[in-house]
Structure 1
Amino acid sequence: MTGQWQYQVRFDVNSSATAESIRRRAPGTALAQLFEILARHQAVAKCQFDAFAEYVAAAEEQGIERYPLYEWTKATIESPSKKEKYLRSFTVYVDRREVYDGEIADAVEADLRPLVGSGLIARISKYDTNPANNPQPPQQPRERR
């Protein structure tokens, strides 16, 4: 059934310096086009590492038993290699929503696509909320590396 699922756009950037500038929402000519595209869609880019860290902090404040991905997420943010990876990965929130209609996701993805060729963005991905297309939460936390 079409329209049943919501979507999310994510992108990875090529450099740690670029990632840090996006995280700080630093104005600059190199990022002007990215921020213009996001503004056009009433969107912001949220760093995946920051989102994971916020999840862990909320779980620790409110009780980890209410957060089924706590152990996995904590192990992920404590792993140096995973930290490096997720500091360069961003989720596009539109109107403060993590997931949104397919037409919105398609438009955001299409507008961001030219930035892949510019060297700013390494990769763009679009995900849906269909559980059949997404990995299920791990039964055991990943081994910390």
Structure 2
Amino acid sequence: MAPQWRYQVRFDVTDSAMAESIRRNAREPGLAGLFDVLARHRAVPKCQYDAFSEYVAAAEARGVESYPLYHWTKTTIENPAKKEKYLKSFTLYVDDREVYAREIADGLEADLQPLAASGLIARISKYDTNPSNNPQPPQRGLA
């Protein structure tokens, strides 16, 4: 039997002010469609920059030797261009899960497509947990 991969949906926005509103969970009129889709799927957006910052803070509090991506992540969030990029990038958690069944990811992706077509969302990405489809962690010391 083939492995059952889990999936994750991410999206990017182009506007910094819109990204900040999403980060604050501000229910502004221009974001109503997005928050309606997310509510239907029991999905919550997590800003990639915030996730990276939390990872770095946890590593620094508990010991970086147990966090293999610490150096890469810290370098990333300290780079102004990458910070700007990741402040506009969001991972969707469904029912508090970072990865979920393909059917859930497919439905979420399909319902986000009209928001991409309207320009609210700049890009939608779907990832799976198959290691051959994902980049491996950088070698220690590389940034």
- The answer to whether the 8 Å contact 1:23/1:46 transfers is yes
Query: Cα offset for 1:2?
Result: 5.3
Aligned mates of 1:71, 1:14 — CA distance in 2? 27
| 2:19 paired residue number | 19
Q: Which string of whole-angstrom CA distances, capped at 9 and with x for unpartnered residues, describes residues 68-123 of structure 1?
A: 00000000000001000000000000011110000000000000010011111000
Q: Gaps (5+ residues) in structure 1?
A: none
Partner SS state of residue 93, structure 2: strand
Query: Cα offset for 1:141?
Result: 2.9
Query: Which is worse superposed, 1-10 or 20-29?
Result: 1-10
- The answer to whether the 8 Å contact 1:14/1:121 transfers is yes
Query: Which is worse superposed, 63-72 or 2-11?
Result: 2-11
Aligned mates of 2:20, 2:13 — CA distance in 1? 10
- The answer to whether the 8 Å contact 1:10/1:90 transfers is yes
| 1:141 paired residue number | 142
Instruction: Name the count of aligned residue pairs.
Output: 142
Aligned mates of 1:94, 1:85 — CA distance in 2? 23
TM-score, normalised on structure 2?
0.96
Q: 1:26 to 1:71 in 2, by over 3 A?
A: same
Query: Cα offset for 1:27?
Result: 1.2
| 1:128 and 2:128 are equivalent in the alignment | yes
Aligned-residue Cα RMSD (Å) equals 1.0
Query: Segments of 4+ in structure 1 off by > 4 A?
Result: none
Q: Gaps (5+ residues) in structure 2?
A: none
Among the aligned pairs, what percent are the same residue? 72
- The answer to whether the 8 Å contact 1:3/1:101 transfers is no
